[in-house]
A and B are shown apart, each in its own frame.
Chain A
Amino acid sequence: MGILKASGLGLLAALAAGVLSGCATTPAKEPPVKFNHDPYPSTYRAYPGVPTLLKGATVLDGQGGRIDGGDVLIADGRVQAVGRGLSAPAGAMVVDAAGKYVTPGVIDIHSHLGDYPSPAVAAHDDGNEATAPARPEVWAEHSVWPQDPGFSRALANGGVTTLEILPGSANLFGGRSVVLKNVPARTVQGMKFPGAPYGLKMACGENPKRVYGSKGQMPSTRMGNIAVTRQTWLNAQAYKRKWDNYEAKGGDMPERDLAMDTLRGVLAGKILVQNHCYRADEMAIMIDLSHEMGYKIAAFHHAVEAYKIADLLRENGICAAMWADWYGFKMEAYDAIRENIALVDRAGACAIVHSDDPNGIQRLYQEAGKAIAAGRRVGIPISEEHAWTWLSANPAKALDIFDKTGSLTPGKMADVVLWNGNPFSTYTRPERVWIDGALMYDANNPRLRPVSDFELGQPGEGDVK
Chain B
Amino acid sequence: MTQRKRISWLGVTGIVCGLAGVLVGYKASAETIAIVRGTIAIGDGSAPIPNGTVVVRDGRVVAAGASVAVPAGARVIDATGKWVTPGIVAGFSRLGLTDVDGVEQATDISSDGPFSAALDIAPAINPNAQPVAVNRADGVTRAIVAPGVGKSIFAGQGALIDTAADVDPVTRARLFQYVELGEQGAEQAGGSRAAAHVLLRNALREAAELGRGIPAAAVTRNPISPDSQPVVRNPNESRLYDARRSQDVLLTRFDAAALVPVLQGRQILMIHAERAADIRQVIALGREFPRLKLVLVGADEGWTVAPELARSGIPVIASALSDLPAAFESIAATQSNIGRMRAAGVKVAIGTVNDDDTRMAFRARQYAGNLVALGRLPGAVGVSWGEALALITSRPAEAVGVGGEIGSLQPGRHGDVVIWSADPLDNVAAAETVLIDGVEQPLVTRQTRLRERYQDLTPGVLPPAYRR
List the interface of chain A (C-beta within 8 A of B). Answer: 118-121, 149-150, 153, 157, 206, 307-311, 325-331, 333-339, 343, 347, 358-359, 362-363, 366, 369-370, 372-373, 377-378, 420, 424-429, 443-444, 446, 454-455, 458-460, 463-465
Q: Give the residues in chain A near B325, CB-CB below 8 Å.
A: 118-119, 149, 454-455, 458
- Complex contact B373–A338 (CB within 8 A): no
**Alpha-carbon separation in the docked complex, A118 to B359 (Å):** 24
Question: Quick one: given A331-B103, A459-B276, A464-B336, are A427 and B378 in contact (CB under 8 Å)?
Answer: no
- Complex contact B428–A330 (CB within 8 A): no
**Alpha-carbon separation in the docked complex, A460 to B276 (Å):** 12
- Complex contact A464–B369 (CB within 8 A): no
**Alpha-carbon separation in the docked complex, A120 to B328 (Å):** 9
Specify which of A153, A330, A359 is in contact with B100 (CB 8 Å cutoff).
Answer: A330
- Complex contact A373–B321 (CB within 8 A): no
Residue of B nearest to A459 (CB): B332
**Alpha-carbon separation in the docked complex, A343 to B360 (Å):** 22
Q: Give the residues in chain B near A121, CB-CB below 8 Å.
A: 327-328
Question: Quick one: given A329-B356, A459-B332, are A358 and B324 in contact (CB under 8 Å)?
Answer: yes
- Complex contact B130–A458 (CB within 8 A): no
| B334 interface hit (Cβ, 8 Å) | yes
Specify which of A337, A372, A426, A444 is in contact with B447 (CB 8 Å cutoff).
Answer: A337
Q: Give the residues in chain B near A459, CB-CB below 8 Å.
A: 276, 301, 304, 331-332
Q: Give the residues in chain B near A427, CB-CB below 8 Å.
A: 369, 372-373, 376, 425-426
Residue of B131, B355, B360, B447 with highest tally of chain A CB at under 10 A? B447
Q: Which of the segments B76-84, B169-177, B222-230, B448-456 contacts the partner chain?
A: B448-456
| B25 interface hit (Cβ, 8 Å) | no
| B377 interface hit (Cβ, 8 Å) | yes
Residue of B nearest to A340 (CB): B451
- Complex contact B378–A443 (CB within 8 A): yes
| B399 interface hit (Cβ, 8 Å) | no
Residue of B nearest to A329 (CB): B101
Number of interface residues of B (CB under 8 A): 59
- Complex contact B427–A370 (CB within 8 A): yes
- Complex contact A426–B427 (CB within 8 A): yes
**Interfacial residues of chain B within 258-303, with CB under 8 A of chain A in the complex:** 276, 301
Q: What's the nearest-Cβ distance from chain A to residue B385, in Å?
A: 9
Q: Give the residues in chain A near B326, CB-CB below 8 Å.
A: 118-120, 358
Residue of B nearest to A324 (CB): B427
Q: Give the residues in chain A near B334, CB-CB below 8 Å.
A: 460, 463-465
Q: Give the residues in chain A near B134, CB-CB below 8 Å.
A: 327-328
Q: What's the nearest-Cβ distance from chain A to residue B235, in Å?
A: 32
Q: Give the residues in chain A near B103, CB-CB below 8 Å.
A: 330-331
**Alpha-carbon separation in the docked complex, A339 to B426 (Å):** 17
Question: Quick one: given A377-B430, A459-B304, are A310 and B377 in contact (CB under 8 Å)?
Answer: no
- Complex contact B454–A359 (CB within 8 A): no
Question: Quick one: given A121-B328, A328-B101, A427-B372, are A307 and B454 in contact (CB under 8 Å)?
Answer: yes
Q: Give the residues in chain A near B376, CB-CB below 8 Å.
A: 420, 427, 429
**Alpha-carbon separation in the docked complex, A307 to B335 (Å):** 34
Q: What's the nearest-Cβ distance from chain A to residue B449, in Å?
A: 9
- Complex contact A343–B455 (CB within 8 A): yes
Question: Quick one: given A428-B373, A465-B323, are A328 and B131 in contact (CB under 8 Å)?
Answer: yes
